[in-house]
Chain A
Amino acid sequence: MCTTCGCEGNGNEIKMTVFGEEKKLTIQNHEHNHNHSHGHHHHSHEHSYEINLETNILNQNNLLAERNRGYFEAKNIFAINMMSSPGSGKTTLLEKTIKDLKDKFQLYVIEGDQQTMNDAERIGKAGAPVIQVNTGNGCHLDANMINKAIKKLEVKDNSIIFIENVGNLVCPALFDLGEAKRIVIMSVTEGEDKPIKYPTIFEDADICIINKTDLLPYLSYDVELAKKYALRVNHHLKFIEVSATTGEGMEKWYDELKALIK
């Protein structure tokens, strides 16, 4: 239990497990909280007074994210934060991408889920080194988890690292992980209005992948309307339509990926 901040009531353990390795790593996700400057005392004050801070609430996360970004840049690692609602097909898209590109690129995956090793197992079988981060009650990955995960995963220079965020259309958006690009995935079974119902995740994304296009014949989903809504939220957004299961459109995604890492 993190007594100083009382995080999540009875403490939220973050578990990290590298697929194929037995040893687990458990971190308390607020360690920075406990090493404030001891020994060094300011004047004590008799009465109450105000301190102006103007500090960004996510300052700690943003600083760590910048450290991750520096680490990635120094090692020429291209980090991509993949976000979507649960079940849009993030893992399926990654499995396919790994099978198709693993001979050309050094690929790594950080899997974020509240529970289970399922996604890491799928990615491991597809052929990429992967670490599973189980966030427990946490609904998003943060920069501290990524900082720990990349070290544990021993990511090599000149590689691409996909970070599959916890399936959630709201929370992950606020937490910079140090990634170079953000990708939001929406699947055609979710309804066209997701971008305006959950705008935050679309606001800072660079690419929007529209997945499960193989199902379009069975649905009344209007792809153009969905794009229009997404552009209203973020007019810089690029779209790629794919079916991660049939492979349709995946070449365009690979072209885009290759263009990004140049």
Chain B
Amino acid sequence: MHEMSIVVSIVEIAESEAKKNNAKKITKLELDIGTVSGIELDALNFAFESIKNETMLKNAQIKINKIKAKSKCEDCNYEFNVEDVYSLCPKCNSYKTTIIHGKEMKVKSILID
């Protein structure tokens, strides 16, 4: 389960920024997570719950913006929404499609006190 390392990285990013600003606590954390980023949100939440009490994010509200995945067809240039990374182009049936959105994994912002 790599979500634990993901959560550890998120906490590191948030805490180091909060400390730079002499904050006492982080009250809100906003993340951008793409639906095909390889991060499982349930596992992420579970990992976060299990370590948050030892961090500055103890009482933080977590907002996760799910970024919808989009693919582009190399053969006909059509752009389309996808649920997965292996969908064929709905227009020309080509497999030469590339994900253009949905791989995001970012700490977007924090609210500090």
- Are A and B interaction partners? yes
A residues contacting B by CB (< 8 A) are: 3-9, 30, 32-33, 36-37, 41-45, 47-61, 137-140, 142, 170-171, 173-175, 195-196, 199-200, 203, 228-229, 231-233, 235
Do B22 and A195 touch (CB < 8 A)?
no
B residues contacting A by CB (< 8 A) are: 1-2, 4-6, 8-23, 27-28, 31, 38-39, 50-51, 54-55, 74, 84-88, 95-97, 99, 105-113
Given contacts A49-B111, A173-B38, contact A36 B20 (CB under 8 A): yes
Closest Cβ neighbor of B9 among chain A residues: A57
Q: How far is the CA of A33 from the CA of B111 in the complex (A)?
A: 20
- Residue from the set A57, A139, A233 with the largest chain B CB neighbour count within 10 Å: A57
| Residues of chain B within 8 A of A232, CB atoms compared | 86-88, 95
Do B9 and A174 touch (CB < 8 A)?
no
| Residues of chain A within 8 A of B10, CB atoms compared | 57
| Residues of chain A within 8 A of B110, CB atoms compared | 50-51, 53
| Among A4, A60, A171, contact of B2 (Cβ-Cβ < 8 Å) | A171
Q: How far is the CA of A170 from the CA of B37 in the complex (A)?
A: 11
| Among A59, A138, A231, A235, contact of B5 (Cβ-Cβ < 8 Å) | A138
| Residues of chain B within 8 A of A203, CB atoms compared | 85, 99
Given contacts A49-B111, A52-B109, contact A5 B86 (CB under 8 A): no
| Among B14, B87, B95, contact of A235 (Cβ-Cβ < 8 Å) | B95
Do A235 and B13 touch (CB < 8 A)?
no
Do A5 and B21 touch (CB < 8 A)?
no
Do A140 and B2 touch (CB < 8 A)?
yes
